[in-house]
Chains A and B, each alone.
Chain A
Amino acid sequence: MSATPDDVLTGEANTAAQTSSKAAEAEAEYGHLVKSEYEHGFVTDIESDTLPPGLDESVIATISQRKGEPRWMLDWRLAAYRKWLDMPTPKWAAVHYPPIDYQSISYFSAPKKQELESLDEVDPALLETYEKLGIPIEEQKALAGVAVDAVFDSVSVATTFREKLSEAGVIFCAISEAVQEYPELVQKYLGTVVPPTDNYYTGLNSAVFTDGTFVYVPKNTRCPMELSTYFRINEAKTGQFERTLIVADEGSYVSYLEGCTAPQRDENQLHAAVVELIALENAEIKYSTVQNWYPGDEEGRGGIYNFVTKRGDCRGDNSKISWTQVETGSAITWKYPSCILRGDNSVGEFYSVAVTKGKQQADTGTKMIHLGKNTRSTIVSKGISAQQGIQSYRGLVRIAGKAEGARNHTQCDSLLIGDKCAANTFPYIEVKNPSAQMEHEATTSKISDDQLFYCRSRGLTEEDAVSMIVNGFCKEVFNELPMEFAVEAQKLLSISLEGAVG
């Protein structure tokens, strides 16, 4: 393409047809697609407005234009893109995959029907998809005060509980909407925790992110409900570049749940999300993730590449950021949710369960950067490897010179199932203040034949026994998840490990 950004902005860009007559056909096709090996590996036939593969400045301009973005946002994207062109891909992680051709990816895909007033207007096939995932929105609306900003591919198509949240002054919306409606907040905070130049994937994400979530909790406000977004990658060859920005103003509290599944595809799907959390003085953010993206087939073909940068900034004194993650999916996971403990007395937590089986590879962990006085951090990482799964815990705890009285406790436990899997632990510790207190514990264990036989002799099947032992192993992490999420996580873990033994 040779068009300059300005040409695209002023020209006729959106040429995709807006037909909607294929709904009946979709219904007919739907049945057989469900019969898939991967439980959540079905495909919903919704027409998508997709850009042709490839990436250059005009593509970025097109994205920006389709999102109706102001000029500053486009400039920000283009600046990120230009820097990205010169950035190297990170090679230090213990994961292996063929080089990614970034020109073969389509950078924008949006369901056709947009600007819905209510759930009634949502494509029934989409709602059905959610039902298959066990998260019917209709039920969600009634349940336990969880508001859902459902992200289907790249554009939010259903948002609920907006009114109740807005009564409390909480902003919970798609990031593209926030760019238009709350530009001063977005401009103030976007990229301040994870700058576009942070790494290769943040550069790419900053250039092409198409959607994601924005949350702002005003001063001294406790968000009245758990906020929840379900992500789902649905379009073949569409890399998904989510951008999440959560700001908890002074004295506020918010708990955010993120859960994802993806349908089965043959080609590798790149996912390079960026999540930024900002907690001001006395504020607390709790961020929980249950991730179940398609891990690929038995040979590892077709799984999601999950290269995510998640970072929280405890910007104010006495603030707290807590990450809890349960990672069972993806072919490759490259992810280090981190905390910058800038404010005095601030607290960072990381609780993680990661499962790798088949040919899955995960290099995951956290960074705790202690800058303020009396800052505390806790790391509890539980890694489970089965079959030929490879897993590495990579963690950094850095105590800066001025971080008087900082404390860290790290616990890394690995559980191996079978004799072809692997678990590595790479803990990095940098201490520049002598008053720091550091604790590090690491264990590696196997599910023993004794344990399996004991359970089986009580009537449990081998699979149930493994699931029970593994869930026991992960208990400290599950205890940190909100109740309904913990139940989902346990179920997911059991499903993930089915057939992994023997």
Chain B
Amino acid sequence: MLSVKGLKAEVDEKEILKGLDLDVGAGEVHAIMGPNGSGKSTLAHVLSGREGYEVTGGSVSFEGKDLLDLDPEERACLGLFLAFQYPVELPGVNNTYFLKAALNAKRKYHGEEELDAVSFMRLMKERLKVLHLDDSLLKRPVNVGFSGGEKKRNEIFQMALLEPKLAILDETDSGLDIDALRVVANGVNALRGPERSMIVVTHYQRLLDYIEPDYVHVLAKGRIIRSGGKELALELEEKGYGWIVDEAAA
């Protein structure tokens, strides 16, 4: 599915990722944890193709394609999805319209017929039901005036509609109270499947109580310094990051 080898990336000529390796197989959920400034969000952005990040070494292959060679929209159409830490407001752009445009862009890319309004509404209702969400957000402009919880819910809903092969959740738990966290995590769990891989980027173990990962990786100073099962997250919760970082440095 995804294979990252020796990935190096800079922001403003400062090296953030310093040779990162990561392999994600189909249907796997990987948690990436790490202290502030370790490069977690940079990884999420480099994978999704954001401008301003310069890749200086290594390779990323996604389903056999050279991911770094593709525009963000091509990556999205191929099945990569980034759930934003801070979803962006689009004033005046109706949420339903935005979702329909996104879905149809993807369908068009794959040579499929675009969905008309009626079929789209049907699909949308069906997905809302799966996620136990109501449609109150869909009539509003994209993310405008949404609460933190609403914005994250909206990201998960987009993911449900776009059905990515690989979803990257960038600090999806940040700014959420425990109820909102539960709603979002339930949504994510409902979307887990053998064909859908996920990379869950998070500070805290808390989210992983709800979204149980298959693998946990510790990212520090631009490298993955330790990988393990979900028990690694519990250990981190107990001891903090310091000891692993020290061990890795030793």
Residues of A within 8 A of B (CB): 448-451, 453-462, 464, 468-469, 471-476
Contact = CB atoms under 8 A, between A and B. Distances in A.
B141 A472 contact: yes
8 contacts: A451-B90, A455-B98, A456-B73, A456-B76, A457-B84, A459-B106, A471-B92, A472-B90
B93 A468 contact: yes
Contact of A457 (B48, B89, B94, B103): B48
B34 interface: no
Contact of B101 (A453, A457, A460, A475): A460
B22 interface: no
A459 B92 contact: no
Interface in B47-99: 48-52, 71-73, 75-77, 81-82, 84, 87-94, 97-98
Given A449-B51, A468-B98, A460 B93 contact: no
B49 A457 contact: yes
Contacts of A454: 84, 87-88, 90
Contact of A459 (B51, B52, B76, B91): B76
A474 B92 contact: yes
Given A453-B51, A457-B76, A459-B77, A464 B105 contact: yes
A292 to B, nearest CB: 22
A459 B87 contact: no
Nearest to A456: B72
Given A453-B50, A468-B101, A460 B90 contact: no
B172 interface: no
Contacts of B52: 449
Nearest to B104: A459
B183 interface: no
B220 interface: no
Nearest to A458: B102
Contact of B105 (A449, A460, A475): A460
A457 B90 contact: no
Contacts of B89: 451
A473 B92 contact: yes
Contacts of B97: 468
B93 A471 contact: yes
B202 interface: no
A149 to B, nearest CB: 33
A81 B82 CA distance: 66
Contacts of A469: 90, 93
Contacts of A472: 90-94, 141
Nearest to A465: B73
Contacts of B102: 455, 458-460
B79 to A, nearest CB: 10
Contacts of A464: 101, 105
Contacts of B90: 451, 454-455, 468-469, 472
B177 to A, nearest CB: 24
A475 B92 contact: yes
A232 B98 CA distance: 35
Contacts of B88: 448, 450-451, 453-454
Contact residues on B (Cβ < 8 Å of other chain), bracket: 20 to 34
Contacts of B101: 460, 464, 468
Contacts of B103: 459
Contacts of B81: 457
Interface centre among B105, B109, B158, B162 (most CB of A within 10 A): B105
Interface in B30-56: 48-52
Contacts of A474: 92
A458 B154 CA distance: 13
Contacts of B49: 456-457
A468 B89 CA distance: 12
Given A456-B73, A473-B92, 7 more contacts: A449-B51, A457-B75, A458-B162, A461-B73, A468-B101, A469-B93, A472-B92
Contacts of B162: 458-459
Interface centre among B72, B87, B102 (most CB of A within 10 A): B72
A454 B151 CA distance: 13
A458 B93 contact: no
Contacts of B98: 455, 458, 468
Contacts of A471: 92-93
A140 B158 CA distance: 39
Nearest to A448: B88
Interface string B99-119: 001110110010000000000
Contacts of B76: 456-459
Contacts of B158: 458
A476 B105 CA distance: 26
Nearest to A468: B93
A475 B90 CA distance: 12
Contacts of A468: 90, 93, 97-98, 101
A22 B81 CA distance: 60
Contacts of A476: 92
A470 to B, nearest CB: 9
A464 B104 CA distance: 12
B92 A456 contact: no
A191 B98 CA distance: 48
Contacts of A458: 76, 98, 102, 105, 158, 162
A12 B49 CA distance: 73
B112 to A, nearest CB: 13
B33 to A, nearest CB: 23
Given A449-B51, A453-B50, A454-B87, A459 B93 contact: no
Nearest to A473: B92
Interface centre among A461, A462, A476 (most CB of B within 10 A): A461
A462 B74 CA distance: 11
Contacts of B93: 468-469, 471-472
B92 A457 contact: no
A457 B105 contact: no
Nearest to A470: B92
Closest 8 CB pairs of A and B: A472-B92, A472-B93, A459-B76, A454-B88, A458-B102, A475-B92, A459-B105, A456-B72
A459 B161 CA distance: 12
Contacts of B94: 472
Contacts of B51: 449, 453
Interface string B140-160: 010000000000000000100
A476 B84 CA distance: 28
A476 B72 CA distance: 30
